[in-house]
Amino acid sequence: MSTVMNAIITDDGTEIHYRDWGSGRPVVLSHGWPLNADSWESQQLFLAEHGYRAIAHDRRGHGRSTQTWEGNEMDTYADDLDCLISTLDLREVTLVGFSTGGGEVVRYLARHGSARVRQLVLVSAVPPFMLRTPDNPEGLPVAGFDALRAGSRADRSQLYRDLADGPFFGNNRAGATVSHGVRDSFWLQGLQASARSAYECIAAFSATDFRADLTGLDVPTLVIHGDDDQVVPLAVGGARSAELVDGAELVVYPGAPHGITDTHKEQLSADLLRFLDSSPTSLDRQGAHHA
């Protein structure tokens, strides 16, 4: 593991681009599909201005990171995140994962433990398990994910346009006021991802089972989800995750869509700041446990 300007290099030679703003206790922000670190810019700026070191990275195959052929699945995403955290020697980290990024941070904790982690926040996140299977009847039919794959192969530029103009930001709801600029940003970020990585990531976020990962979490956890999320419905995602994580706090945004990092950015930033200031350090937790 090593670094170049604004990037760390993983053991397989992949460059993971990151932005590192502010100083103080670190907050690491993991983005959704098919986006990159730019999708966190509002929260990253806010947190850096409020005394935190806010770090957002581009997942492999996305944004400015290497467009890898292999490794487009959750275990490797989690290992890349571990490389970032270890290389920068971050401690007392608050991990924040949006959508697919929620799976990445949960899998990181399952594979690498919580020694460096203080808190976890899941925002519109894909855990515990999106795909409907015999032992997960509450999940979503595979046909929807197959349609994403078909759209990705046929005309992924139009697929991203349709998602941005429709369900991602709730722009298909009566009275929606999502700007063209916000929707164009989603489209542009999507096209910065490689076709291969974006295609394979659909399986990564939909067919990865995080249920056992969640039940093993041992850090304070905040779950934030909109109750009009048409991409990861509340009943499939946030509500079930909160049930599986011991002591998790669930905050539901009434009428909110999937992309609340943009549509509810002031509310989300305020909730993140409240939670960041709310819990003891890992040393405090260990002392309380042993007492």
- Measured CA to CA, the distance from residue 78 to residue 59 in angstroms comes to 10
For the whole model, what pTM was predicted?
A: 0.93
Nearest 5 degrees, angle CA 207-CA 221-CA 186? 55
pLDDT tens for 130-140 read: 999 999 999 99
Q: What is the mean pLDDT of residues 209-217?
A: 97
Q: What is the pLDDT of residues 157-178, one digit of tens each?
A: 999 999 999 999 999 999 999 9
Residue 136 is predicted with a pLDDT of 97
Q: What do you get for the CA distance between the two ends of the chain, in Å?
A: 38
Both tokens of 213, joined, read 């990962």
Q: Is 184 a catalytic residue?
A: no
Strand partners, 3: 8
Q: Quote the mean pLDDT of the chain.
A: 94
Split at pLDDT 50, 70, 90, the class of 282 is: very low
The secondary structure of 94-140 as a DSSP string is EEEEETHHHHHHHHHHHHH-STTEEEEEEES---S--B-BTTBTTSB
- Please check whether residue 75 is in contact with residue 107, taking contact to mean a CB–CB distance below 8 angstroms: yes
SS3 assignment, position 51: coil
The string of pLDDT tens digits covering residues 192-205 is 999 999 999 999 99
Residue 157 is among the residues annotated as catalytic for this protein: no
pLDDT of residue 284 exceeding 50 = no
The mean pLDDT of 269-281, rounded to a whole number, is 87
- Helices 100-112, 195-207: inter-axial angle, 10-degree rounding: 70
pLDDT above 70 (res 281): no
Q: Choose, from 99, 152, 194, 241, the residue flagged as catalytic.
A: 99
Question: Does residue 90 surpass a pLDDT of 70?
Answer: yes
Query: Which one has a higher pLDDT value, 283 or 219?
Result: 219
Check 17, 62, 225, 258 and give the catalytic one. 258
Q: Which domains does the chain have, with CATH numbers?
A: 2-290 (3.40.50.1820)
Of the chain, the percentage scoring pLDDT greater than 90 comes to 93
Say which of 229, 241, 262, 269 is annotated catalytic: 229
Q: What is the pLDDT of residue 150?
A: 98
Catalytic residue at 17?
Answer: no
- Of 133, 84, 131, which Cα lies nearest the Cα of 104? 84
